[in-house]
């Protein structure tokens, strides 16, 4: 008879893979179940570590969580690199928020005031200072804000490295689908097309596919990747608003540039549309005209896992032995390490870090109760 696993992690994106690795570091017997690890939202993600740039005054809990995660991400990236022997593309480049007209400048100033009220590190820049820092910016840029602590990582390299680190720690992999198996109000393992796998705990980290088990919804995002081939690219992450659409430009150390992203309530649709490609390219080139000379290397669409209040669901589910790690929205990469830390604490009976406590799934009544 097969020896039961201590934990089965359902989902092999950046969140699930990091959970599996960290659990295995505690000496637990871990199985990760995913038909194609790393191929979901993590594959499309830009990898911005940007809690300050994405600050919304109505979401203080998300800001606190993001700042907590960003503060430890450099150490996390170093740990992953050491454990896997692979680079993850972590770049402490900072982020430049730019305005193209007077209206944008006023909005940027309003956001900066709120950021300063929170004690966040931001720096007001004139048009000349913006172009001094980023010479490739369009001459139409009239003002900007430098966010020196908002950095980036390459999600594809990060997931590849975390998956290798997990294997090195003894995590087993099963390339299939699975659902929690519940008997008498307790998780007994997972059901797969090949049969049931016994486990004492199940971590649900299936992203946008967790809609049957938690109040999350799929939010479509389309993203482009451009290839520089030696052409000059920006140094900072550059973000702005063009024709009332938010756009970002994320330069990689190998010359690749990521441009994104749409936000569409279209469920699991992963069609790349001509209109989205046109809009993203036009908006990105309005910020950085030199991007028009780059090769369009890839256009991809995936479903992000949104939650009702934009906070993830991290914590105990509504049946014994089930732990949720879903609903990260646009922040899965940023929050992957703190999510894994919290999940590991829950599984091993330790305290969850305070900023993550606000993510307890019990704040919603929509949680589905399985019946064995």
3-state helix/strand/coil string of the chain: CCCCEEEEEECCCHHHHHHHHHHHHCCCCEEEECCCCCCCHHHHCCCEECCCCCCCCCCHHHHHHHHHHHHCHHHHHHHHHHHHCCCCCCECCCEEEEECCHHHHHHHHHHHHHHHHCCCCCEEEEHHHHHHHCCCCCCCCCEEEEECCCEECCHHHHHHHHHHHHHHCCCEEECCCCEEEEECCEEEEEEECCEEEEEEEEEECCHHHHCCCCCCEEEEEEEEEEECCCCCCCCCEEEEEECCEEEEEEECCCCEEEEECCCECCCCCCCCCHHHHHHHHHHHHHHCHHHHHCEEEEEEEEEEEECCCCCCEEEECCCECEEEEECCHHHHHHHHHHHHHHHHHHHHCCCCCHHHHCCCHHHCCCCCCCCC
Q: What is the number of domains present in the chain?
A: 3
Same domain, 45 and 160: yes
Query: Do 270 and 221 share a domain, yes or no?
Result: yes
In this structure, the answer to whether residues 17 and 139 fall within a common structural domain is: no
Residue 107 lies in a domain: yes
Residue located via tokens 């871990």:
30
Supply 251's token pair: 């330069």
Has residue 368 been placed in a domain? no
- Please say whether the beta carbons of 308 and 354 come within 8 A: no
Same-domain status, 302 and 312: no
Q: Can you read off the two tokens belonging to residue 276?
A: 């989205």
pTM of the shown model: 0.94
75 belongs to a structural domain: no
Residue 67: inside a domain? no
Q: Is residue 234 situated within a structural domain? A: yes
Are 129 and 164 in the same domain? no
Both 347 and 328 in a single domain? yes
Domain termination site, one of 306, 321, 355: 306
Do 15 and 161 belong together in one domain? yes
Q: 289, 306, 323 — which closes off a domain?
A: 306
Structural domain containing residue 341 = 5-50+156-214+308-363
| Same domain? 39 vs 165 | yes
Q: Do 112 and 173 share a structural domain?
A: no
Question: Does one domain contain both 331 and 350?
Answer: yes
Q: How does pLDDT run along the chain (372 residues), one tens digit per residue? A: 455 799 999 999 999 999 999 999 999 999 999 999 999 999 999 999 999 999 876 789 999 999 999 999 999 999 999 999 999 999 999 999 999 999 999 999 999 999 999 999 999 999 999 999 999 999 999 999 999 999 999 999 999 999 999 999 999 999 999 999 999 989 999 999 999 999 999 999 999 998 878 999 999 999 999 998 888 999 999 999 998 899 999 999 999 999 999 999 998 999 999 999 999 999 999 999 999 999 999 999 999 999 999 999 999 998 899 999 999 999 999 999 999 999 999 999 999 988 999 999 988 865 554 434
End residue of a domain, out of 130, 148, 166? 148
Same domain membership, residue 300 and residue 221: yes
CATH number of the domain residue 327 falls in? 3.50.50.60
Q: Is residue 163 part of a domain?
A: yes
Domain CATH for 262: 3.30.9.10
């Amino acid at each position: 008879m097969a020896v039961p696993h201590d934990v089965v992690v359902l989902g092999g994106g950046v969140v699930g893979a990091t959970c599996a690795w960290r659990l295995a570091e505690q000496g637990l017997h871990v199985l990760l179940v995913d038909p194609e690890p790393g191929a979901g939202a993590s594959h499309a993600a830009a990898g911005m570590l940007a809690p300050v740039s994405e600050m919304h005054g109505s979401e203080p809990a998300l800001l606190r969580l993001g700042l907590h995660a960003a503060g430890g991400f450099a150490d996390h990236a170093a740990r992953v690199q050491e454990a896997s022997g692979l680079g993850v593309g972590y770049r402490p480049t900072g982020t430049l928020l730019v305005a193209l007209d007077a209206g944008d400048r006023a909005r940027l100033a309003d956001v900066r005031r709120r950021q300063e009220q929170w004690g966040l590190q931001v720096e007001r820049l004139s048009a000349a200072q913006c172009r001094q820092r980023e010479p490739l910016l369009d001459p139409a840029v009239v003002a900007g804000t430098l966010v020196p602590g908002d950095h980036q990582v390459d999600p594809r390299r990060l997931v590849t490295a975390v998956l290798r680190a997990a294997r090195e720690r003894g995590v087993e992999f099963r390339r299939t689908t699975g659902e929690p198996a519940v008997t008498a109000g307790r998780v007994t393992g997972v059901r797969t097309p090949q049969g049931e796998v016994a486990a004492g705990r199940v971590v649900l980290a299936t992203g946008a596919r967790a809609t049957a088990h938690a109040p999350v919804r799929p939010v479509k995002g389309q993203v482009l990747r451009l290839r520089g081939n030696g052409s000059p690219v920006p140094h900072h992450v550059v973000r702005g608003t063009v024709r009332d659409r938010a756009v970002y430009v994320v330069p990689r150390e190998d010359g690749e540039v990521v441009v994104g992203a749409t936000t569409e309530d279209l469920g699991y649709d992963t069609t790349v549309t001509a209109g989205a490609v046109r809009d993203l390219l036009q908006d990105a080139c309005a910020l950085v005209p030199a991007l028009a000379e780059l090769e369009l290397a890839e256009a991809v669409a995936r479903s992000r896992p949104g939650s009702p209040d934009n906070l993830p669901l991290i914590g105990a589910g509504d049946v014994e032995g089930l732990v949720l790690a879903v609903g990260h929205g646009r922040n899965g990469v940023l929050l992957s390490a703190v999510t894994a830390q919290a999940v590991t604490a829950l599984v091993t009976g330790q305290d969850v870090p305070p900023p993550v406590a606000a993510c307890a799934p019990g704040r919603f009544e929509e949680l589905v109760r399985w019946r064995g």
